Amino acid sequence: MALAQSELDAVNRIEAYLNRIETVRAEFLQSSSNGATARGELYISRPGRLRIEYQPPVPILVVADGTFLIYHDRELNQVSYIPLGSTPAGILLDERIALTGGDLTITGFEQANGMVRVTLVRADNPMEGSLSLFFTDSPLTLRKWAVTDAQGIVTDVSLVKTKFGVSLDPELFRFKNPKIFRDQFN
């Protein structure tokens, strides 16, 4: 997608803003195009760290430890490890976020009514899905993102009561697999 100079200027501003973010703590509201809804707490510590704690009745915990995105279904006692770099979440957690001229391709850009939306795919695997980032324009602030997976399901995550630059306990980003822990002591 070819961007006009004013759009490139906005993208450069967004890139600089994202690279200044070190930590985030927020409540979130999530909705999916398949009808599912959830809420919970989100923690980010860049680079590479993320924790998403869903409130009941959703039995899911997601932790990014710098290497893997770990998906834990507490109800089914199932744990999946996915390389962080192969997930849309990895885009926000990179040590250096480069929206243009690197690993990402901008496939959509919209700026209207005080909001900015930029949609990205990984250049080497655009079919894995996309990530759309939504910002208020003045002041520039991340408000929401939407992940479209390879099957076309869109998951919107809106941030509420967002705090940037907060102190976060490193233990939030360590995952202790309950199955391994339990097996060691049985």
| 17 occurs within a structural domain | yes
75-114 confidence digits (pLDDT tens): 998 999 999 887 877 888 999 999 987 788 899 999 999 9
| 49 occurs within a structural domain | yes
> What would the DSSP string read from start to end of 128-158?
GEEEEEEEEETTEEEEEEEEEETT--EEEEE
Give the number of other Cβ atoms within 10 Å of residue 43's Cβ: 20
Please state, for a pLDDT cut of 70, what percent of the chain lies above it: 96
Q: Which amino acid is at 83?
A: P
| 136 occurs within a structural domain | no
| 27 occurs within a structural domain | yes
Whole-angstrom Cα distance, residue 92 to residue 73?
Answer: 23
With bands split at pLDDT 50, 70 and 90, how would you rate the model's confidence at 186?
very low
Whether pLDDT at 1 is above 90: no
| 41 occurs within a structural domain | yes
45-65 confidence digits (pLDDT tens): 999 999 999 999 999 999 999
Average pLDDT, the chain: 90
Give the number of other Cβ atoms within 10 Å of residue 156's Cβ: 17
Q: Domain tally for the chain?
A: 1
Nearest to 20 by CA among 142, 174, 102: 142
| 60 occurs within a structural domain | yes
Q: Domain residues for 95?
A: 5-101+155-184
| pLDDT recorded at residue 177 | 81
Q: For the residues 108-137, what does the mean pLDDT come to?
A: 90
| pLDDT recorded at residue 179 | 67
| 59 occurs within a structural domain | yes
CATH number of the structural domain spanning residue 10: 2.50.20.10
| pLDDT recorded at residue 170 | 95
> What would the DSSP string read from start to end of 82-109?
EEGGGSHHHHHH-SS--SSSSSEEEEEE
17-35 confidence digits (pLDDT tens): 999 999 999 999 999 999 9
Give the number of other Cβ atoms within 10 Å of residue 164's Cβ: 14
The more confident residue out of 184 and 132 is: 132
Q: Which residues contact 38 (CB under 8 A, 6 or more apart)?
A: 29, 30, 54, 55, 58, 60
Question: What Cα–Cα distance (Å) separates residue 38 from each residue in 6, 53, 59, 73?
Answer: 36, 10, 10, 14
